[in-house]
Chain A
Amino acid sequence: MDILRIATAGSVDDGKSTLIGRLLYETNSITKDKIEALEMASKRKGLTFLDLSLLTDGLIAEREQGITIDVANIYFSTPRRKYIIADTPGHFEYTRNMVTGASNTKVSMILIDARNGVLEQTFRHFFIASMLRIPKVIVCINKMDLVGYSAEKFNAIKADIQAIADKVSFEGQEVTFIPMSSLYGQNISIRATEMPWYGGLTLLDELESTAFEEIKKPARFPVQFVLRPKTEEFHDYRGYAGKIASGSFSVGEKITVLPTGQTSTIATIEKFGMQLQTAEAKESVVITLETDVDVSRGNMLVKTNNQPNQLREITARVCWMDSQPIVAGKTYILQHGINESKAKIIALNSKIDVVTQHTIVDAVSALKLNEIGDITLKTAKPIFADKYAQNSANGAFILIDDQTNSTVGVGFVL
């Protein structure tokens, strides 16, 4: 069974929590006791219908304010696949959470209130989906019940959004539009009787039929842990444990160890003693080599005929996530996958206004919380990264402030 990870983004009050609640409700993912609790809570609020948004609004602070303020993970499954929704807040202050929630996802669901159409937020959501290179965007034009299920309204919003998509989408990104009412369950999993003019799929059918063409990526294996049991049975055993970041590895292939450049051949690929011939991206395995080479945590095994650059100077787009702004000249810890190095910010090149798409180049003195810009940094150790646009699984890093230990930014190698 496979997993489809989805990020949701929307503005305050466009019905995102209701939409997610509706998806759970219609896929029978809510147990009877939870529905009863929901009925009670809805009644307490004086509502005559089931307030499905209460299912996902978790934290005490949020319940008081009535808005979602952090990334929540929500799960449901169908006989076809398992879904993980990263529900990210739409409020403008929370770009950081939106980027966090959307990292790792394959589908971005962007909610639009049909009464309001495109908002400033819509630009932001599209920009982030493109920056993260999320391959599929589903634009959910919600609250169609409040605009009389009007095809004209839907088409007008669709045209506006298509214009944004044309500006920021990357080649191969798929953008789909669905008119819906999450409050009344129209086009969520059941086709809307009120919108016969819509010929596309329901949201659930769209998700169920989502498939991605596997584009062959270069093989990258970051070594997490060196296994040396030193027991009698495994006296000279030396295995390299890790999760394949991208591509695939097979027994018998020639590999190079980065950064040393030593070469060897893959002897075995193992999973709990099970011998594999080939292992693919995202699999956690143990690789043993035919010859004794020097390998330690943070090193990377790659195929000898396809190696990444060993970067000491990196230009990257970063999203800043800390209340303390980025400081040019300051040294941070850069963590690329599991490899760490000190990294000094040598230049702040530009700042991007994600709403107007304008790039500010002159006199960029700081990147503040929730701001996005391009920087150049110098690392103390080589980093074995690919360009994010070419191999996203090996092209991102985080920055850590070693005084606070906080994760303060995320970078995408340009």
Chain B
Amino acid sequence: MNSDIPKHGFFPRELEDEAIYILREVAAQFEKPALMFSGGKDSITLVRLAQKAFYPGKIPFPLIHVDTGHNFPETVAFRDWLIKETGAELIVRYVQDSINQGKVKEETGKYASRNVLQTVTLLDAIEEFKFDACIGGARRDEEKARAKERIFSLRDDFGQWDSKRQRPELFDMLNGRIAIGENMRVFPISNWTELDVWNYIKEEGIAIPSIYYSHQRQVIERDGMLWADSDYLNKDADEIPFEATVRFRTVGDMTCTAAVASEAVQLDDIIGEILAAEISERGARIDDKRSEAAMERRKQQGYF
């Protein structure tokens, strides 16, 4: 057990207490919650918080991973390791199945990505397992539309978010009442910033996928960003892959996450990079660049 956690480190411990409180409310107020696991650092942080919240008991809800089929292999390997390590239950659902069922259509063109398609797979999984609460690792500092989202965020039958129907959240009282068919999205680390997450990972000694650290990788340059080369990336003839020393600041699909040139091989280097950041975290998300209001529109449609 980690008994040497500094009581007054750089990470504000109040955020951990708040997140654990929220996770316990989810377990108490809902019948079938699930934790949406992407393999990224935010959802890995959530898993650690859930372990802490219910220790010495087990995490009382499953992890659900929507596999787009375009994940970094490192992320999938890490996921499987984490499940073994924590003894948590894992459910995986595949975007490929939604495509095969004709529910969604693969995007074409050089910006093709399965990021938008995963919403349908997620909503199907929610229906299949009758999940009434889905815990996610979204943070309010990521994006302007998220800054206004509640910790308990109500979604209708179609998974849609309505900014006008949000319930006021007063003090720390969370109202988790829902009607049949409705679903609650829960964001325990709403008040954390990217830096808070990294400081927490460091102070807690949490393992993360290797692609967060600097490594050699084949990339192409497009729109001023470095894109990981893979079979899933539709390249123009003049987009020739080359090797670069890079890392990822955020881990989504191989087709929608840009790499940054970096020599950061340990957590202190990563934290140093963030403190001197020239580009924001979501700036490395190609999916947000589609339009200024991209995130809000996707949320209205049930994304995350």
Partner of B1, one of A73, A273, A400: A273
Question: Within 8 Å of chain A (Cβ to Cβ): is B11?
Answer: yes
Question: Within 8 Å of chain B (Cβ to Cβ): is A253?
Answer: no
Are A1 and B170 in contact (CB-based, < 8 A)? no
Cα–Cα distance between A286 and B1 once the two chains are bound (Å): 16
**A interface residue count range (under 10 / 10 to 19 / 20 to 34 / 35 or more):** 35 or more
Question: Within 8 Å of chain B (Cβ to Cβ): is A110?
Answer: no
Among the stretches B39-47, B114-122, B173-181, B209-217, the one at the interface with A is B173-181
Question: Within 8 Å of chain A (Cβ to Cβ): is B15?
Answer: yes
Q: How far is the CB of A411 from chain B (nearest CB, A)?
A: 10
Among the stretches B62-70, B73-81, B190-198, B232-240, the one at the interface with A is B190-198
**Residues of chain B lying within 8 A (CB to CB) of residue A3:** 12, 14-15
Q: How far is the CB of B180 from chain A (nearest CB, A)?
A: 11
Question: Within 8 Å of chain A (Cβ to Cβ): is B56?
Answer: yes
Question: Within 8 Å of chain A (Cβ to Cβ): is B141?
Answer: yes
Q: How far is the CB of A332 from chain B (nearest CB, A)?
A: 12
**Residues of chain A lying within 8 A (CB to CB) of residue B21:** 224, 242-243, 284
Query: CB within 8 Å of A: which of B123-175?
Result: 140-141, 144-145, 147-148, 163, 166-173, 175
Q: How far is the CB of A21 from chain B (nearest CB, A)?
A: 12
Cα–Cα distance between A84 and B283 once the two chains are bound (Å): 22
Cα–Cα distance between A304 and B57 once the two chains are bound (Å): 29
Cα–Cα distance between A3 and B14 once the two chains are bound (Å): 8
**Residues of chain A lying within 8 A (CB to CB) of residue B172:** 104, 243, 337
Question: Within 8 Å of chain A (Cβ to Cβ): is B53?
Answer: yes
**Residues of chain B lying within 8 A (CB to CB) of residue A72:** 144, 147-148
Partner of B279, one of A32, A70, A233: A32
Among the stretches B2-10, B30-38, B88-96, B97-105, the one at the interface with A is B2-10
Cα–Cα distance between A3 and B16 once the two chains are bound (Å): 12
Question: Within 8 Å of chain B (Cβ to Cβ): is A43?
Answer: no
**Residues of chain B lying within 8 A (CB to CB) of residue A271:** 52
> Known: A224-B28, A335-B173. Contact between A1 and B56, CB under 8 A?
no
Partner of B55, one of A56, A273, A406: A273
Q: How far is the CB of B53 from chain A (nearest CB, A)?
A: 7
Are A75 and B175 in contact (CB-based, < 8 A)? no
Query: CB within 8 Å of B: which of A308-365?
Result: 321, 333, 335, 337-338
- B300 nearest CB neighbor, chain A only: A60
Question: Within 8 Å of chain A (Cβ to Cβ): is B54?
Answer: yes
Partner of B283, one of A31, A104, A410: A31
Cα–Cα distance between A60 and B296 once the two chains are bound (Å): 8
Question: Within 8 Å of chain B (Cβ to Cβ): is A61?
Answer: yes
Q: Mark B273-304, 1 if CB is under 8 A from A, else 0.
A: 00001111001000000000100110000000
Partner of B58, one of A33, A70, A73, A229: A229
Are A33 and B279 in contact (CB-based, < 8 A)? yes
Partner of A284, one of B11, B20, B57, B193: B20
Cα–Cα distance between A338 and B25 once the two chains are bound (Å): 8
- A403 nearest CB neighbor, chain B only: B179
**Residues of chain B lying within 8 A (CB to CB) of residue A104:** 171-172
Question: Within 8 Å of chain B (Cβ to Cβ): is A234?
Answer: yes
Question: Within 8 Å of chain B (Cβ to Cβ): is A396?
Answer: yes
- A393 nearest CB neighbor, chain B only: B171
**Residues of chain A lying within 8 A (CB to CB) of residue B14:** 2-3, 282
Are B170 and A297 in contact (CB-based, < 8 A)? no
Question: Within 8 Å of chain A (Cβ to Cβ): is B71?
Answer: no
Cα–Cα distance between A257 and B196 once the two chains are bound (Å): 36
Q: How far is the CB of A222 from chain B (nearest CB, A)?
A: 10
- Please name 10 further chain A to chain B contacts, defined as beta carbons within 8 Å, in addition to the given A282-B14, A333-B177, A338-B25, sorted by A numbering: A1-B9, A31-B283, A33-B280, A58-B144, A58-B147, A75-B191, A75-B193, A227-B55, A229-B56, A284-B20
B interface, CB within 8 angstroms of A: 1-3, 5, 8-12, 14-18, 20-21, 24-25, 27-28, 51-58, 140-141, 144-145, 147-148, 163, 166-173, 175, 177-179, 190-191, 193, 195-196, 277-280, 283, 293, 296-297
8 intermolecular pairs with C-beta atoms under 8 Å apart: A58-B144, A82-B193, A99-B168, A103-B171, A234-B56, A393-B171, A397-B173, A407-B169
5 residue pairs, one from A and one from B, having the closest CB atoms: A58-B144, A405-B177, A284-B20, A229-B57, A100-B168
